Amino acid sequence: MKIRWAGVLFLLSSALVGFIVAPVYFYRHPLAAFDVALFLLYVVATLMAITVGYHRLYSHAAFRAHAIVRFLCLFFGAASFQQSALRWASLHRTHHRYVDTERDPYNIKRGFFYAHVGWVILRKPVIDYDNALDLQKDGMLTHQHRHYQLWALGAGVVLPLFLGALAGRLIETFLLTIAARLAVVHHCTFFINSFAHTFGTADYDPHSSAKDNWIGALLTNGEGYHNFHHRFPSDYRNGIRWYHWDPTKWLIRALSWVGLTSELRLTPAASIEQARAETRALRASKKI
Ligand SMILES: [Zn+2]
Ligand SMILES: [Zn+2]
């Protein structure tokens, strides 16, 4: 299997700078409120852009979104350095369709490491854009795909450095808002494919490796109720109870109150109960 050295270098250098160089630097140079505020803003914005935008909106069409929301998802999604929304959504649709098989791009059967990050650095996935023809009609989305490097550098590097320079905190911004933030957001997102396919319960689809787990939900911005999600992927929620930690769901719902999202798709309660009952019956008959 070929190692993609550019990917290894990028992931390792952001983690080394963010998790080792940054703490050493801040041991001698005190943190300012600006450093923490910009870091948190970028963590939340880029994680939400992936879970609200790349995942639930573009991959699963779980709701409709106003152009402002779509722009913000594409802008901060590019800033997370996880490729274009079109590429991400197409790969993710392949994951759902062929989950746990050789054609699953982040197949957990190849091991936790492979599903987490190995697939990014060990082989170049073959992408079938034919499964995302609907997305290719969206001009803003295809612009982000065609000019991805420009979007990613502008949103993820140039804008934070510009803000950092204005505040006189250029080095601090580079260490925290670029390096540490990239490493944190990368691994939180990667946990959806590794942790959420390993630990937890399977009450909706016992044949899938996807699992429901509140710790996974904490790590992945609400995507940890992954067994439910694989059974009902077009539901805008992953955690269906009000107390389930699913900030992605809460943001989509809150945006609908001001008209920025609409047509939020909900699975009928009867279908959810039927899936649970089928799983219970299979377990009782010891077929799984
Ligand atoms: Zn999955
Ligand atoms: Zn999904």
Q: Which tens digit of pLDDT belongs to each residue from 47-60?
A: 999 999 999 999 99
Nearest bound ligand to CA 229?
2
pLDDT value of residue 61: 98
Largest separation between any pair of C-alpha atoms in the chain: 66
CA 82/CA 182 separation, integer angstroms: 10
Map out the domains of the chain as residue ranges.
5-284
pLDDT tens-digit readout, 95-108: 999 999 999 999 99
CA 5/CA 123 separation, integer angstroms: 11
Segment 152-174 mean pLDDT: 98
- Tokens 């590429």 map to which residue? 87
Tokens of 228: 């439910």
Distances (CA, A) of 281 to 61, 193, 270, 274: 31, 28, 16, 10
Tokens of 286: 């010891």
User: Percent of the chain at pLDDT above 90?
Assistant: 93
CA 50/CA 164 separation, integer angstroms: 24
Q: How far is the CA of 115 from the centre of ligand 1 (A)?
A: 10
pLDDT value of residue 287: 67
Query: What pLDDT band is residue 288 in, cutting at 50, 70 and 90?
Result: low
Relative orientation angle of helices 247-257 and 33-48, to the nearest 10 degrees: 80
Given a contact cutoff of 8 angstroms between Cβ atoms, the answer to whether 265 and 235 are in contact is yes
Segment 14-37 mean pLDDT: 96
Q: How far is the CA of 217 from the centre of ligand 1 (A)?
A: 13
pLDDT value of residue 118: 94
CA 222/CA 190 separation, integer angstroms: 13
Q: How far is the CA of 195 from the centre of ligand 1 (A)?
A: 10
pLDDT tens-digit readout, 183-209: 999 999 999 999 999 999 999 999 999
Q: How far is the CA of 87 from the centre of ligand 1 (A)?
A: 16
Q: How far is the CA of 58 from the centre of ligand 2 (A)?
A: 10
Tokens of 206: 């016992």
Q: How far is the CA of 262 from the centre of ligand 1 (A)?
A: 25
**What is the three-state SS of 202-214?**
CCCCCCCCCCECH
CA 105/CA 126 separation, integer angstroms: 8
CA 136/CA 139 separation, integer angstroms: 7
